[in-house]
Amino acid sequence: MSPADIREVILEILEDIAPDEDLTTLKDDIAFREQLELDSMDFLDIVMELRKRHRVQIPEEEYGELASMESTVKYLTPKMADI
């Protein structure tokens, strides 16, 4: 997957988790939690959806890599390159 494809995957997951949020104004370099009404369970849902939909395993110690769209895409690009 390309970085643009990964971004779309993340947007789809966020839309499912937080359907009332306006994702059109999401800034890539600002943490999701600063822009969206996400709690720790929502964040865990993102990780679980990545595993369920794309079989991407993310170790708990690396969850911080998923803080913003920019860092998430950068982190996932090598993990999802062959998908």
pLDDT at 77: 97
Give mean pLDDT, residues 44-63: 96
Residue extents of the structural domains in the chain: 3-79
d(CA 20, CA 13): 13
Average of per-residue pLDDT values in the chain = 95
d(CA 18, CA 7): 16
Q: How many CB atoms lie within 10 A of CB 62?
A: 12
pLDDT at 83: 84
pLDDT at 6: 98
Q: How far is CA 48 from CA 14, 24, 27, 31, in A?
A: 12, 23, 23, 19
pLDDT at 9: 97
Domain 3-79: which CATH number of 1.10.238.10, 3.60.10.10, 3.80.30.20, 1.10.1200.10: 1.10.1200.10
What's the residue count for the chain? 83
